[in-house]
Structure 1
């Protein structure tokens, strides 16, 4: 069996996908304030910038840039997941392996990361993030999803408020 190794660059820019263990739950939007607080607290101890982000009911996507000399995104994710988990009610199903390790069953253990290569790659992933609620049928337009950095991009004049849907072809956002 091949050991999985993460690609790391100090001060790198990364795209992440992080999922709940139970994909039929809506914990992330039901407890979005708790999630925001977990991000805030971890960023105070271990700084990073959030370049783009969307929180959906059962998963999230984001782009982070780490500070100079730092490539430890795994530590940050571990702490964000742990703080979020500590601060919500325990109602999830817990597998035997998690119970033996005294773990909660909220998050999938792993996450997916991609090192952003250049400005074109960055913008492709930003578009993917902002289009995701539309792709999943949660809203018709990106502007209608409240848990997205899309609103920050509009406020800064980077994207028009009517961006999405007819403006973006899903095939242009295929990250696979």
Structure 2
């Protein structure tokens, strides 16, 4: 169940979701942690029926447009977050990490507000899911996802950012084998963001 007022009501539909690290900790400034997310998404795509239309990994949160082939999106999200939290915390504890004690202390303190996680909490509760109800809405979310690194000053063009699906849509190749949405007809007279995919 979502705790932020948003719920996945139709488990068969694609949704825009956001996974945020507790306390907005910049975990994903390290390549190793981004790679754990990519490997986990790849596994879920190949083995768990996860359908990914778009994604971006930012320093402390992830945006995705997801769907479940087995009509259990909530379960798929739950398992993904549980696995990645465990894998990333294990990496922090066992590999070289200058911020280890600081991060683990914050992850430990984050468990104090509930009874679910006993030792560490990595992800914030709630995914703020929004059902994809039209192609226009889908493309507005994809544009928002892909332009995140540009707005943050990480790259000049969205397709230059390695850890997102923008490159898939521009050149047909990326870190993950995603389900690419049909590109809308470009209308040069329309200023809406979803028509500006050509600038990626």
TM-score class, shorter = 0.7 to 0.9
Give the 3 Å change call, closer, same or farther, for CA 80–137 of structure 1 in structure 2: same
Deviation at 1:23, TM superposition (A): 1.4
Cα pair 1:26 1:58 within 8 Å, conserved: yes
Task: List per-residue Cα deviations over 1:18-76 (Å, max 9, x = no partner).
Answer: 111131413375312211222233345531210111111111111112226x1x32222
Residue 85 of structure 1 corresponds to which residue in structure 2? 85
Aligned residues: 161
Cα pair 1:17 1:59 within 8 Å, conserved: yes
Across the aligned residues of Structure 1 and Structure 2, the Cα RMSD in angstroms comes to 3.0
Give the 3 Å change call, closer, same or farther, for CA 47–137 of structure 1 in structure 2: same
The DSSP-based 3-state class of the residue aligned with 1:121 is: helix
Residue 163 of structure 2 corresponds to which residue in structure 1? 147
Which 10-residue stretch deviates more, 140-149 or 96-105?
A: 96-105
Instruction: Say whether residues 1:54 and 2:69 are aligned partners.
Output: no
With the length of structure 2 as denominator, give the TM-score of the two structures.
0.68
For structure 2, which runs of at least 5 residues remain unmatched after alignment?
A: 94-99, 174-181, 184-190, 195-200
Alignment of 1:8-87 (within 5 A): 8-27=9-28, 29-30=30-31, 31-67=33-69, 70=71, 72-87=72-87
For structure 1, which runs of at least 5 residues remain unmatched after alignment?
A: 160-168
Deviation at 1:108, TM superposition (A): 0.8
- Matches of 1:117 and 1:48, distance apart in 2: 19
With the length of structure 1 as denominator, give the TM-score of the two structures.
0.76
Which 10-residue stretch deviates more, 149-158 or 55-64?
A: 149-158
Cα pair 2:15 2:67 within 8 Å, conserved: yes
**Structure whose residues are more often helix by fraction:** 2
